[in-house]
Amino acid sequence: MPRQIELSGNLVKFSIPENFSSDMPADNMVESVNLSDKGIYLDHEKFTLIRRWCDFKESGLLAKEFGTIMMSMYIKESLENSDKNILTPLGLIGTTIENFNFENKTGEEKDSEGNVVTLYPNFYEAYNIASFNQKNWISYPIEHPSLHQHEIFYAIPITKKNYIVVSFSFAPVDSIPVREIIDKYGRDHMESIMNSFNIEYAKDSNVPAVIGLPVDLQKLINDKFY
């Protein structure tokens, strides 16, 4: 179903499948946001733009349930004292890392084999570039071994200071591997949503001129261009 969110003159258009539920724990879509309102960055409920989820299960009356996928989108702002240029991929990655550190999201957990997993990626090599509709998003995964969950995040700048993040959280039931849920049931849902995104930037915006340029992320990282 086509949807649209207006962010201070910037239009974020996207579609989500009809089987995505609006029941709890979902949040209704915010249709318009004034990005100059500093209060939206202080309250998690205010900067969440939409949250929807759906179940993966067999067909039939006694259908077996395999797990769920949760799709969320929220607005973020770079730190006031940040020198990062979020209009560049490395600048946006650096800002993401700064925000993780500022929010104290640097914890670690151990997976089922006892290996230490960093929950929030705090190094550039953990990030990738994903292109949808000729626009570059940064992408990064977050694992939650203790919760048996896996999240995939996509982020893209909206202004010089603001960016949106779209996240997909996969939670299988029982002992089904998270990777099986993603590969067998969730990837098509996730990619269909991301491929539907179309951002129409405000007329006075200089963002579109840079986010669609070809990027060799690994070369930039190797050259320490950040």
Domain 2-222 has CATH 3.30.1490: no
Taking the model in full, what pTM does it have? 0.84
H-helix or E-strand spanning residue 55: strand 48-57
Q: Could you report the per-residue pLDDT of 81-120, keeping only the tens digit for each?
A: 888 889 888 889 989 888 877 776 556 655 656 666 566 6
Cβ–Cβ under 8 Å, residues 87 and 61: no
Q: Which of 44-53, 60-69, 200-209 has the lowest mean pLDDT?
A: 60-69
Mean pLDDT of the chain: 79
Assess whether pLDDT exceeds 90 at residue 165.
yes
Q: Tell me the domain boundaries of the chain.
A: 2-222
What's the pLDDT score for residue 226? 46
What's the pLDDT score for residue 11? 95
Closest-CA residue to 132 (of 179, 169, 166, 180): 166
